[in-house]
Every structure is written in C-alpha cells, then in structure tokens.
Amino acid sequence: MSGPDTDTLAPIATPRSRAKARHILDHYYIGPARDPEVLEIWGYTERFSYRPGEVLELRVSTSAEVWEIEIGRDGARYEEVLRVTGLPGRRYETPEDCSVRGCGWPVAHAVTLPADWRPGGYLVTLRGRRGAEVVEHHHFFVLRRAVGQAPAPYVLICATGTWVAYNCWGGSNAYEGLTGPDGNAFSPVLSTQRPWTRGFCKLPEGAPRALPDTPPRPGEMVRYPYMEWAYAYGYSKKYASAGWASYERHFVRWAEAQGYEIEIATQHDLHAEHDLLDGHRCAVFVGHDEYWSAEMRDAVDAYVDAGGRVARFGGNFFWQIRLENAGRTQVCYKYVASEADPLRGTEGQARLTGAWELPEVDRPGALTFGVNGLRGIYAGLGNCVGRGAGGFTIYRPEHWAFAGAHLGYGDVLGAGARIFGYEVDGLDLVIRDGLPWPTGEGGAAAEINILGVGLGTNVEADHGVWGETLYIGSADAAWKARALYGELTSDTLDRSMRGNGVIVHWPKGKGEIFTAGTCEWVAGLARGDVQVERVTRNVLDKFGTAKAGGTPSKCR
C-alpha cells in the first residue's frame, strides 16, 4: 500500500493528494537522459523467467561506444557464468510514455541459456564504455528448472507484481507518474517492457532499509535514511520497497547457505501456470508482496486445499491486479478503482483492481493467507508506531514454530533486527485470558492460531516538531473508512485508524499456512538474528518434510 507521495489521478483524488514539497520530490524517477552526450546504458528482457535451452533476448539502449555483458548466479555466493565484451553501442529513442506502453527497443544480444547453468536468480550487469568513462546498469532474471525435472522441495515465488508496481523507470509507477491531464498522475496501467529502476536488482552493502536502525529520540525530527541515501547516490527511492536486492535475495542467500534446496519462480509464472506449485512440499513468499492477481491467489488456494504448505514471511497483502497483453501489462486502479476501473458496475467487478476487502471485490486476504492488509499497515515508518518495539510480542511460545528459539510469553521476537514493518498484515482480534483470538471479521477463520502480535496504524502521529512534515498523515484512514464502512464519519475514521501485524498458523484444507505478516522478516535473516533464524528453520523444516502438495507425481 505504501507510497505516501501518491499524486492525483485527476479528476479523482487519491488519499494522499496534497501540496508537495517539490524541492524534495522533483526528479523522483530513474529513466533515459534523452541526451546522446550523457553516457548511459539500460536494458530489459521480454520475460522475467526462462528455462534452460530458451533464448534470453537482451534489449539494450546505450550511448556508449562499446558495451559488455556479465551474467552471474546470485545465490549464497555470486558465481559469474558468462561475459561478453566488445559489443558496439547503439542508442534508441524511448517513448515518453514508455512506463505505460513499453520501450519498444530491438534485441541487442541474445543468449541461449545452457543446460548446465544451475536454476536460480541471475544478475545481469551491463557496462557501457566511452573512452575512460564506464557506466553500469543491472537486470535480473530467474532460471527455472528444466521441463521434466522433479520439483525442488521448496519453491520461492518472487513478488514481481509488486516489483512492477514500484518500478519508477521511465516516469510512472503505481505511486507517482507522468500521466493524467496535468502529466503528474500515477498510472493505473504499467508496462513490464522497460528496465528495472536503479536498486531493484543490485545494491551496495549497507544500503539502508525502509525502517531506520533506531527510532528517533523524542523531540527530534523524523528522518528517512533510505530516501536520503537514494537521493545522494542516484538510486530510486523505491528500492527499499520492492525488488530482488532488498527482499528475495536476502532470503535466498540465507536459505542456500543453510542447505535448503529452493527453486525460484515469479508471480507472473504463478499467474500463467495454475499448477506451478504442484509437487513442491512448501511454497515460500517473502518481503513485500502487495500486488496479486486473482489467478495467483487461485493457484495458492488450490495448492493448500490439496495438501500444500505455505510459508509466508511477508507483508502488505493489499491490491488485486489484472495482467493483460500476455502478462506484459499490469493494471491496478488502487484507491480510485471504485470510480475509475472499467470493470466497475459490471458482472466482472469482482476483478476490480482495488483492495481485496472492498465490497465489490469481497475476497479478503485472510481467506488465502490468514491475514488482511487493511487490518495492518504502517509500523516503524516515520511517526507511524515510530517508537514501537520493532518485533512481534509472542503470545503462544509453546507452538512448534518457536521450539528452541528461547521465547517466552510476552517476549519480543526480532526487535534487534527491526523485523516488524514497514508495512504489516493483521486481523481483527480480541484478547481473552491474555491470549489473542480472531473475531472472524474480515473473513478470518476461527481455526487461525495467532502466535504473535505487533501494533500498526493508518494515522501518523503529529508531535508538533518544528520543520517536520507528515509523510503518511491520515488520508489512508479516511480512505479505509469510506471503502469499508461506506462513509467518512468520526466513528468510521476512528475504527480505521488502528491495526496490527500478526504471526499466524492455520490448518487449511488438507494443507496449512504459516504467515509472519511483515515486510521486514528478511532483515532478521540478513542481520543474523538467531531467534528469527530458528523460527524460519522450524517452519521450513516442518513444511519441507510434509507430503508434497498438489499432484505429487507431476513433473514439469
């Protein structure tokens, strides 16, 4: 849901329409210089994933005299597998609306993917040279297992729906943009046929995460180190919200180092292949997985109902999307879906691209993962629970997920690593005899076992610090009040202000779900939090030894 700097999709206002601090927010996007004198190189591929034997076609535009390619497998350690040098540079004109309809560049170089390259995530480094000057750009693709090869025990699904929504390359994403009558609106239609913005595929060590390492002291102005760093070094300010480098990569590096055999696929694969999860013992989702299509959810639901296990260490399950044009176009009207989505008022309005809990959609996230985005939201970002614990308070330490983690009732998990935030998923709950129970509101099943809880909010506290500008404000709560309760009143606003983030375990169908509803769980793995690591191992070990979900004998 994040993106407090959302523009207006005229004539309908988004929740965060307000006067902007233009000296801060100008030049928010990464994109072509549109000047041949500027040394630059950009590239993309038509698809996000490939199999051995298929052809990786790199579409590259560069003002460099010569350029080169380096490809490496980005796992527990980086392994270079290919280098091609001395390629002649060629620059192509890029449409002004490339973020909406794609760049349209021709293929600059093609690589047939060898059978001996190990499946996994692959980093593509493009280097352009002009005299002594060198410039780099990075791309990423997933190499899946060969057709017919037995599935790995675990499959990690990269949150490419969220990557596309946050990708600011070329001018527009789902938060800001160059569209609309005044050329300043976010775009509900986004193309995958463009480069990833700077920071999505590769980051320097030490790049700040979305949550600051320590809360601000009382009286100090709130700061956003990740945005300050991005502006200082020329990265997208959205790097900390989405992308391989900030989320999935941390999980893969840790999991491979621990010896887990993990296959990687993308949400776009899951959308197109309803049986993708079949045969895997455990499907894993991590980080920030905010944007999903109905087809993606259908695949997860069918897998779990048939006996599959899902480990979701991620947060902010919020928006329904539609994929069009063979997956090359992603549609999400978000806050204005009820007024602007072409499906509004039609027989197909259950596919409306708004929040899952909208009355028109009526498919709360709790029906799939046991948690809801609208019942959670911001934690640790700015003055939204800005001085909170940073972790989950544990209520049921006897649960198998906590075995050996040295956690007791009331202990806080992950506070040192700051795993709770920056957006969280929660449930409406009540405390009885010191334990949390789901009320059932928002589609939550009575069988959902709430293991840990933290607090979230839709309203940013205003402490009156001189010079401080609220980043989140209260507009999200006002929108939620209208969306869920039909009108904005003092009562519905009050009901929309508070949320939480939860850890839940849920036996569902023949399978089961474990969800830690926070974007930042991977920070615990990256920072070596031994308790977070132990809980992660407990879940993976239990689910990885269960019978494979879906159709066990099926090999793709």
Domain ranges of the chain: 31-145, 154-163+220-229+236-544
Ranges of the chain whose pLDDT falls below 50: 4-26, 552-556
Which pairing describes strands 511-516 and 309-315: parallel, antiparallel, or unpaired? parallel
What angle, rounded to 10 degrees, do the helices at 490-497 and 475-485 form?
110
Q: What is the pTM of this model?
A: 0.94
Here the tokens at position 39 are 């040394």
Phi, psi of 491 (to 5 degrees): -70, -50
Measured distance CA(242)–CA(227) in Å, rounded: 14
pLDDT of residue 1: 67
- Burial (0-12, 13-18, 19+ Cβ within 10 Å), 436: buried
Here the tokens at position 417 are 């690593």
CA 21, distance to chain mean position in Å, is 26
Q: Quick one: CATH architecture of 31-145?
A: Sandwich (2.60)
Measured distance CA(70)–CA(127) in Å, rounded: 8
Phi, psi of 4 (to 5 degrees): -60, -10
